[in-house]
């Protein structure tokens, strides 16, 4: 039986085994999928052991995505630009590193939420790894404007410089949080980790255009702090990142197995479980 796993530290909370087991049942694929806790200083050894035991691929979560990039012998273009890997595929020719996070985000926005990105004004909050993984897939959707805003504008400037050759006709720009006041974006994506600690990015007023969507990459039971604040600040719709989690998993599954699962039922079940507490 083909073996797959998700590796991280911590890992007990991961929903990936449940998600991939559901994908396998749905598509008639025979495989096993487990969660592996790697020591903080033992990621490479854990991957090599799993591969030597016949493993075919792995998902990689915090804090090992940079190490996974370094371990990969070749990268997909989106992983190369992201500088981080969340999906490993083992083959006779080495280790392929991919980054499915941005593709999962875009698919959740467009397919699950019915959000148009082409020709829209898009704002991404934060300039860390989550943003870096999302920018190329977002730019591929041809927004009119894509602004990266960060508490430290210099980090946003670095990302804009890196991705400008891939911007096409989109106006790609960096910004501080303060300078966003009154700009009226159609889609605002929170890629900061603020919601994990119950905090909020220091955002000005006038951020949301009529009909705007506020999207938090984090998820939990009920609204995240960012979503709750967006409701009061004029966002017409809010959404969390649970759909992104499922869709990035589907991207990995498709890479490994050559068949794309239907995510709707899996997402609905996870949402039911989350809401039930």
Binding-site residues: 14-16, 61, 86, 101, 126-130, 217, 219, 241, 248
**Residue located via tokens 């006709």:** 169
Half-sphere exposure for 168 (CA within 13 Å, toward CB): 15
Q: Confirm if 36 and 7 have CB atoms less than 8 A apart.
A: yes
155 is catalytic: no
Residues annotated in the binding site for NADP(+), as ranges? Answer: 126-130, 217, 241
Q: Confirm if 107 and 134 have CB atoms less than 8 A apart.
A: no
**Selected catalytic residue, list 65, 120, 132, 257:** 65
Count CB atoms within 10 A of the CB of residue 94: 12
Give the CA-trace dihedral at 77, 83, 86, 89, to 10 degrees. Answer: 50
Give the pair of three-digit tokens for residue 198. 């119950």
In Å, how far from its chain's centre is CA 105?
Answer: 5
Give the pair of three-digit tokens for residue 241. 């990142």
The residues annotated as belonging to the active site are: 65
């Amino acid at each position: 039986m083909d073996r797959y796993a998700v590796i991280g530290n911590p890992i007990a909370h991961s929903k990936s085994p449940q998600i991939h087991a559901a994908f396998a049942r749905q598509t008639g694929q025979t495989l096993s999928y487990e969660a592996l806790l790697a020591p903080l200083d033992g990621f490479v050894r854990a991957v090599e052991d799993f591969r030597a035991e016949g493993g075919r691929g792995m998902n990689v979560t915090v804090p090992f995505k940079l190490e996974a990039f370094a371990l990969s012998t070749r990268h997909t273009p989106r992983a190369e630009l992201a500088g981080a890997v969340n999906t490993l595929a083992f083959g006779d020719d080495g280790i392929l590193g991919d980054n499915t996070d941005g593709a999962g985000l875009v698919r959740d926005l467009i397919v699950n939420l019915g959000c148009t990105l082409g020709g829209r004004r898009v704002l991404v909050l934060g300039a860390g790894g989550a943003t870096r993984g999302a920018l190329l897939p977002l730019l591929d959707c041809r927004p009119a404007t894509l602004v990266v805003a960060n508490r430290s504008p210099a980090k946003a400037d670095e990302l804009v410089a890196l991705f400008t050759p891939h911007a096409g006709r989109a106006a790609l720009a960096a910004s501080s949080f303060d300078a966003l006041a009154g700009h009226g974006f159609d889609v605002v994506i929170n890629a900061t980790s603020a919601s994990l600690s119950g905090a909020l990015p220091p955002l000005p007023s006038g951020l949301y255009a009529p009909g705007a969507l506020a999207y938090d990459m984090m998820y939990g039971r009920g609204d995240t702090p960012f979503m709750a604040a967006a409701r009061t600040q004029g966002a017409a719709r809010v959404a969390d990142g649970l759909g992104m989690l499922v869709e990035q998993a589907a991207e990995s599954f498709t890479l490994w197995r050559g068949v794309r699962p239907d995510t709707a039922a899996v997402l609905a079940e996870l949402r039911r479980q989350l809401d039930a507490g």
